[in-house]
Structure 1
């Protein structure tokens, strides 16, 4: 039988197959070949009522290392319009990585019911760039139906810093989950981690979502530095209009991207993050 791996705990693997969840062990060769991850499509032999053994794993279409989830189709990137304040570099890292991995990105701006004035322009800014944006409030229910529709029929992962309301949004969609939620520390302004293990959750409207530990930093992948600009959608209209074909859009004369950033056609913080990501990736290339 084929199934989908929901979670691993205490040496056991929990696999959903044909409408039931089996508690499984994995064949030794699978353990040697590499760690099985939530989202893996696996082949299972049933040994008894509710028990089975994982015989094989299908090739992965996508792989996220942090959080570690396989076969993700879309990333639901959650940030707060209130507290904790949006870390725009982390947001852009998540968007960048989603693009590199070929995963659709949806930005959910939560806590709309207590939004701070200085954050109100952010949803429109990212929507104008071309990202799908949803404004939500787990407390009032705003945007919950829209999020449920986005999640339906797909394997999604929630990502974003702690304290932005990822678990609260999942509880709003599926109250029976009763996931632990954490308040933002008044002293530090940061959220407390509330999810300890990556696992897939089956949603009543169809589809799965990976509830994963919160994090505050995301390392960039190894890649050709010439490809970095292709993962910033707002740069696409300007690529190919620079004086030099090999332009890296830093300080080269006749650079159309630099000119667009200077006039505000490309948002300043996005351009600064492009430069930072570019330097990080060049540094990685030199270290090999």
Structure 2
């Protein structure tokens, strides 16, 4: 029985790309999955069979390494967080919120900053460039890889392709940052729909309607995913938020109390590191804001 990867799911059909190449096969899932309460996901490795009418059936879902709920993608191991440097400007609080969810999901993260060419001649270009350089230094010091790109000038695309090689990657970020433009530049002939940023609203309209894996030249799949309209901390425990900050996680074993919240406890290794200037104030501020948001929603429910 042939084996392949589900690269698209739409209207009850699963489109499977076989390992041996050839055209995608449009498949239905066997009824046994529904009886078990299971659903195939984009990214699933599956055994499938072709039927006489040229379509096929998904017969078996092979073991998954990861399974995301939002967006619904299986076997992803890398999250590419796409943020623009201008229109909209880089929002570090939102970036940290994405990183918390990605760390909680168990994926590695790659930060990609887009629209570098748009800074030329822009108002406050020098200030924005300084803020972007500082952000690159901060997140690289924490252990994240950062690539600055321009889809229009093709800047940084070779570096990005090399990072995507061999991975199933999820592209994520707020609307209007240029995810579809970036994918179009990475994969010649892809022609994903794009929408220019609204000057009035300062944000874009998300153009992706479903999850689909796109094969990148040189190897690897990427998923351009519907925008995250809401990132909710309720799925995380309050102790887990701190463990999703890499620099906090590395220090937590040095805290006096197990389950330390890193906000008020004596002999807290994170607070001590902050006092020494070893933790960025923006990262700590966002952490306390996320903790407050979690507590407020917990009380509400």
Alignment TM-score, normalising by the size of structure 2? 0.87
Answer yes or no: is 1:219 the counterpart of 2:220.
no
Listed as ranges, the matches of 1:74-153 within 5 Å are 74-115=78-119, 116=125, 117-118=127-128, 119-120=131-132, 121-153=134-166
Answer yes or no: is 1:53 the counterpart of 2:57.
yes
User: What residue number does 1:27 align with?
Assistant: 30
CA distance in 2, matches of 1:68, 1:220: 18
CA pair 207-225 structure 1, distance change in 2 beyond 3 A: same
Deviating more after overlay: 240-249 vs 263-272: 240-249
4+ residue runs of structure 1 moved beyond 6 angstroms?
283-288
SS in 2 for 1:78: strand
SS in 2 for 1:235: helix
CA pair 84-42 structure 1, distance change in 2 beyond 3 A: same
Counterpart pick for 1:175 among 164, 170, 188: 188
- Would you say how many aligned residue pairs link Structure 1 and Structure 2? 288
Deviation at 1:169, TM superposition (A): 1.0
CA distance in 2, matches of 1:219, 1:167: 25
CA distance in 2, matches of 1:212, 1:187: 25
CA distance in 2, matches of 1:189, 1:224: 33
Deviation at 1:98, TM superposition (A): 1.7
CA distance in 1, matches of 2:299, 2:214: 41
Answer yes or no: is 1:40 the counterpart of 2:44.
yes
Deviation at 1:269, TM superposition (A): 2.2
Deviation at 1:19, TM superposition (A): 0.8
Deviating more after overlay: 52-61 vs 151-160: 52-61
SS in 2 for 1:48: coil
Deviating more after overlay: 123-132 vs 137-146: 123-132
Structure 1: unaligned runs, 5 residues or longer: none
Does the CA contact (< 8 Å) of 1:73 and 1:103 recur in 2? Answer: yes
Counterpart pick for 2:243 among 224, 227, 230: 230
Deviation at 1:99, TM superposition (A): 1.5
Deviation at 1:223, TM superposition (A): 4.2
Deviation at 1:4, TM superposition (A): 0.8
Higher strand share: 1
SS in 1 for 2:111: strand
Answer yes or no: is 1:272 the counterpart of 2:275.
no
Deviation at 1:52, TM superposition (A): 0.8
Deviation at 1:150, TM superposition (A): 1.0
User: What residue number does 2:14 align with?
Assistant: 13
